[in-house]
Amino acid sequence: MYDKVKLTKRQIKEDKFTAFMLKARTWFIDNWQLAVIGVAAVVLIAVAGVYYSRSQAAQSEEAATRFARALLDYRNGSNQVAIMGFSQVVDEYSSDEAAEQATFLLGKVNYKIRNYEEATRYFEMYLTQYRENRLSRGAAQAGIASCHEEQAAYAEAADRFQKAFDEYPDGPLGGDYLAGAMRNHFKTGDLEKAAANLDTIKVRYKGSELVNRAIRSFAENSPGK
| CATH assignment of the domain containing 195 | 1.25.40.10
- Res 59: pLDDT: 80
Are 93 and 41 in the same domain?
yes
Are 62 and 100 in the same domain?
yes
Burial (Cβ within 10 Å: 0-12, 13-18, ≥19) of residue 58: exposed
For the stretch 140-175, pLDDT in tens is 999 999 999 999 999 999 999 999 999 999 999 999
Is 72 within the bounds of a domain? yes
- Res 144: pLDDT: 97
Distance CA 107, CA 105 (A): 5
Are 102 and 154 in the same domain?
no
Decide if pLDDT at 43 tops 80.
no
Final residue of a domain: which of 77, 94, 122? 122
Domain count, the chain: 2
Are 148 and 183 in the same domain?
yes
Decide if pLDDT at 204 tops 70.
yes
- Res 10: pLDDT: 53
Is 10 within the bounds of a domain? no
Are 110 and 167 in the same domain?
no
Radius of gyration over every alpha carbon of the chain, rounded to an integer in angstroms: 34
Whole-model pTM?
0.74
Q: What are phi and psi of 109, to 5 degrees?
A: -65, -45
Domain that holds residue 210: 131-225
CB 195 within 8 A of CB 182: no
Are 135 and 62 in the same domain?
no
Instruction: Find the Cα–Cα–Cα–Cα dihedral 77, 78, 79, 85, rounded to 10°.
Output: -130
Hey, what amino acid is at 60? S
Distances (CA, A) of 133 to 31, 81, 85: 55, 27, 23
Are 222 and 173 in the same domain?
yes
